Structures are given as C-alpha cells and as structure tokens.
C-alpha cells in the first residue's frame, strides 16, 4: 500500500471511536449490530488493527455515514466527480459510488489475485446485498454454497446469511455491490422490448 493509504487507515480508529461514543453505544452493542467481535472493534478503535474491506462496510452502515466519510480518503481522479478509492490492508480497493448516508449504498470493489488461496472467513450482519461482476471471476461463499460468478452474472442475498467474497487464482476481479438495510432490496426493472410489428 502507499504511504497515503497507510495514513488514511491509521486515522480510522479514532474516527470509529468518536462515531460510537456520539451514538452512545457500547462495544458489545456495536458487535451485535455489525457481526464484528467486541475485541476486534476495540483493537480497530485503538489503532492496534487496521480495518479490512469486510469490516468497513457494516461499520459505515451502522454509524450512518458514507464510506469515504468514515475513512476521510483524499479526493482522487476527476475533480468533477470526487471519487475516493479506499485501499484496504488485504490489497483490495473500494470505490464508493454514492455520497449520501442512508438508503442503498453502491460500491465498486477490486480484489487482487489469489483470495481463493485463503480460508474463507464467513461473517454475518444485518442488511441485504446485491452483487454484479464486471471483470474476472468472483468467488462467493454463502453458507454451504461455494459459487463462482463470471462477468454479467449477479447474486443477491440477506447478509444475515454467513458470506464471504474473494477473487481466484485466475486473476483479479471487479464487481459492483448494492448494500441496503435489512429488508431493503435492490430492485432491477427491465423494460420489455417493443415489437416492430403492428398488432392487427
């Protein structure tokens, strides 16, 4: 990771603690809301551990902030768009695509090659997720199901189902994710193609 990425992640701990204290919730309460253990949350807040991609998303959702607000990443790319990529300690990159807190949040993820060599660490939290693969092969573990999604394929699930995402040894993977609150699903509507023939 770059020095800027390290600095960004190092600053997350104090910000997480301020957000939790502002909401007047205990580490145990936050653990129940996010599916992250209280001991891990304590280490994140104290800076003894850097957050991973899987930890940042439920924390941002529960605290009611966008991901870029949580990490306070510096602006990059086209200044008219103000996209703020977030580099994670596992080599993954998150690109928030929505700017407002609350409601369904959209993200683009880029995972480096070789996540399938790791033992999947399944986790759960409140919410609903919809994923769509752009490039590469995405490994999705949902409870007892171990799936491989290729470009153009999508999956949706209740995040209370134990889950894990990873790339494969075939190469990196890019995918979109729409994450909503419990019971808030992403609805995709297709408009039927008009027939060129006139009805008699």
Return the domain boundaries, the chain.
1-75, 103-184
CA nearest to 159, candidates 124, 112, 134, 184:
124
Q: pLDDT band for 27, please (50, 70, 90 cuts).
A: very high
Q: pLDDT band for 1, please (50, 70, 90 cuts).
A: very low
> Which pLDDT belongs to residue 183?
55
Q: pLDDT band for 2, please (50, 70, 90 cuts).
A: very low
Buried b (16+ CB within 10 A) or exposed e, 15-31: bbbebbeeeebebeebb
Q: Which CATH architecture has domain 103-184?
A: Sandwich (2.60)
Q: At what angle do helices 27-34 and 53-63 cross, to 10 degrees?
A: 110
Q: pLDDT band for 187, please (50, 70, 90 cuts).
A: low
Q: d(Cα 98, Cα 112) in Å, to the nearest integer?
A: 23
Give 69-137 as a DSSP string. HHHTPPP-S-TTT----EE-TTS-EEEE---SSSS-EEEEEEE-TTGGGSPP--B--SSEEEEEEEES-
> Which pLDDT belongs to residue 185?
58
Is pLDDT at 71 greater than 60 in this prediction?
Answer: yes
Q: Is 151 exposed, middle or buried (0-12, 13-18, 19+ CB in 10 A)?
A: middle
pTM over 0.75: no
Q: Which helix (H) or strand (E) holds 156?
A: strand 154-158
Q: CA torsion, points 161, 188, 154, 125, in degrees to nearest 10?
A: -20
Q: Which CATH architecture has domain 1-75?
A: Orthogonal Bundle (1.10)
Segment among 7-11, 52-56, 126-130 with least mean pLDDT: 7-11
Residues 6 or more apart whose CB falls under 8 angstroms from that of 4 comprise 74
């Amino acid at each position: 990771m770059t020095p800027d990425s390290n600095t960004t992640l190092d600053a997350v701990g104090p910000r997480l603690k301020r957000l939790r204290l502002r909401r007047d919730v205990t580490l145990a309460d936050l653990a129940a809301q996010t599916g992250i253990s209280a001991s891990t949350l304590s280490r994140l807040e104290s800076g003894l551990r850097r957050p991973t991609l899987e930890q940042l998303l439920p924390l941002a959702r529960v605290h009611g902030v966008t991901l870029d607000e949580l990490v306070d990443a510096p602006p990059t790319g086209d200044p008219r768009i103000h996209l703020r990529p977030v580099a994670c300690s596992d080599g993954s990159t998150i690109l928030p695509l929505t700017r407002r807190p609350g409601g369904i949040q959209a993200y683009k993820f880029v995972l480096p090659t070789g996540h399938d060599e790791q033992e999947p660490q399944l986790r759960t939290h409140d919410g609903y997720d919809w994923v769509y693969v752009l490039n590469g092969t995405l490994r999705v573990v949902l409870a007892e199901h171990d799936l491989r999604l290729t470009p153009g394929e999508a999956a949706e699930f209740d995040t209370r189902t134990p889950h894990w995402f990873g790339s494969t040894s075939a190469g990196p993977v890019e995918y979109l994710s729409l994450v909503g609150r419990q019971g808030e699903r992403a609805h995709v509507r297709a408009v039927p193609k008009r027939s060129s023939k006139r009805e008699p």
